[in-house]
Structure 1
Amino acid sequence: MGTPTAIGIATGTDAAPARHADAVLLQLIWLASPALPVGGFSYSEGLEAAVDAGLVTDEASARDRLLDQLALVQARSELAAAASAFVAWRCGDVARAQALNAWVAVTRETAELRLQSEQLGRSLAQWLRQRHPDDARVAALDALAPAPTWPVAFALAAAATGASPRDALLAMAFGWAENQVHAAVRAVPLGQSAGQRILGALAATIPAAVDDALARSDDTRQSFAPMLAVLSARHETQYSRLFRS
């Protein structure tokens, strides 16, 4: 058995598991990065409409809105659907993935929200085709009708890394948080330091949101955020917009 070096890096037979864990972590960081070419940065998920309506005006109101959205939308719907889809892809249960994809599609309450989920899902499916051209699950994802949705597509991307469900959802939630903070910095607008404080508040709350999502079943998963739906609908006809939702 290998022995640790002076700086604590495993060698010999201990190194292989460490390298695998490193590779999984880097894959999750990659998936969570705003640089992932799916276009997540172009959506504010109603935040821009909230700014236009005077509901979000400063750091505190932006932080509170995003914390509410994490608990009421991400944990109960997006992350919960992704958690179930993750298990389905790991088991090769395409029918289950199809059913979850249909649930996500029909629970989008506005055209913008559905466009967002489907556009991100299609873009991630294309990225996965390039990285895993021989994985039959990628072809199954691509064939989902009317389109792959974001939570179901992300679940497959994360499952392909070998990550645990909880780590996969942590990455998904942080990617969402980073995109939304960037939107807030641009739309409110806020300074970079304010954005970092909001991101810190979200990061501190994400583990609990992920645990909530993992504990949800088909009977407790839900998509019910009336104010988000109203703001999203208003955004569709908003005179001046930076974002697609």
Structure 2
Amino acid sequence: MLMTTTSREVPEPGALMGGDAAALYRLLTWLSPAFPVGGFSYSSGIEWAVEAGDIHDAQTLRDWLAAMLADGSGFCDGVFLLHAHRAVEAGDHAALREVAELAAAFVPSRERQLETVSQGRAFVETARAAWNCPGLEQALARCESPIVYPVAVGIVSAAHAIPLDPTLHAFLHALVSNWISAGSRLIPLGQTDSQHVLSSLEGVVAATAERARLASLDDIGSATFRADLASLRHETQYTRLFRS
């Protein structure tokens, strides 16, 4: 008698199975604009850059964000996420405390501190409430300083055994997507132009992730002085839509 198999018994080539499907589902959820970390409230200084005329169209927005990704907060946050993830995987509590403390101290302005700490707190609280898992509470308890956003993502993803590389790429994609969302409202840009900017930054995101993957904490540094000044000057901007 001939035996037949069903699609349930023999998965299609390339199909996601088990842990891979769960990891993808969680990353898509946690780094979605719908996840309640309040990212829509922050512009990372882009609001001042638009008012000052540094950003005025799709190309200038793209150039500004490429610099922030490769030489500014994008790269630094990627390194912090990576080392937090590795520390949790290794059960190295001293290393996790070091990363958390350095990341909390590294932001250049009061408003950027508010942005990353608030989003980190919201990310942790929501993960605890809806996505708790063994080891997460223990890892969080080891951080004596405020848990900033990239460290929070690194801790939670490692506690759920989600691989580092897709987590890092997804985080940087979410970061640049939120920046573009702020820019599109401020310039303003249409939806198609916004997608052109996102498409043009694909290679920068990949290159930044690769640099971060190979970096030590000693390699962290920023050269985006204009963006840092923008985050400082936003504090006294006369009219504002965003909190940073």
TM-score, structure 2 length as denominator? 0.90
1:11 maps to 2:4: no
Q: Distance in 2 between matches of 1:74 and 1:210?
A: 12
Q: Distance in 2 between matches of 1:190 and 1:114?
A: 28
The residue aligned with 2:116 is 117
Q: What letter corresponds to residue 175 of structure 1 in structure 2?
A: A
The residue aligned with 1:39 is 38
The residue aligned with 2:209 is 210
1:172 maps to 2:171: yes
Percent sequence identity is 32
Q: Distance in 1 between matches of 2:56 and 2:81?
A: 32
Q: Distance in 2 between matches of 1:202 and 1:76?
A: 14
Q: Distance in 2 between matches of 1:207 and 1:244?
A: 28
Q: Any idea what SS the aligned residue of 1:219 has?
A: helix
Shift of residue 20, structure 1, vs aligned partner: 2.3
Shift of residue 135, structure 1, vs aligned partner: 3.4
The residue aligned with 2:140 is 141
Number of matched pairs:
240
Q: Distance in 1 between matches of 2:163 and 2:100?
A: 21
Question: For the structure 1 residues 206 and 168, does the alpha-carbon distance in structure 2 shift closer, same or farther, using more than 3 Å as the test?
Answer: same
Q: Distance in 1 between matches of 2:149 and 2:221?
A: 16
Q: What letter corresponds to residue 216 of structure 2 in structure 1?
A: S
Alpha-carbon RMSD across the aligned residues, in angstroms, is 2.3
TM-score, structure 1 length as denominator? 0.89
Which stretch has the larger CA shift, 217-226 or 35-44? 217-226
The residue aligned with 1:155 is 154
Contact conserved, 1:122 with 1:142, CA < 8 A, in 2? no
Which stretch has the larger CA shift, 74-83 or 227-236? 74-83
Contact conserved, 1:125 with 1:138, CA < 8 A, in 2? no
Shift of residue 224, structure 1, vs aligned partner: 4.3
Structure 1 residue ranges without an equivalent (≥5): none
Which stretch has the larger CA shift, 210-219 or 16-25? 16-25
Question: For the structure 1 residues 194 and 244, does the alpha-carbon distance in structure 2 shift closer, same or farther, using more than 3 Å as the test?
Answer: same
Contact conserved, 1:59 with 1:194, CA < 8 A, in 2? yes
Structure 2 residue ranges without an equivalent (≥5): none
Question: For the structure 1 residues 141 and 167, does the alpha-carbon distance in structure 2 shift closer, same or farther, using more than 3 Å as the test?
Answer: same
Contact conserved, 1:75 with 1:213, CA < 8 A, in 2? no
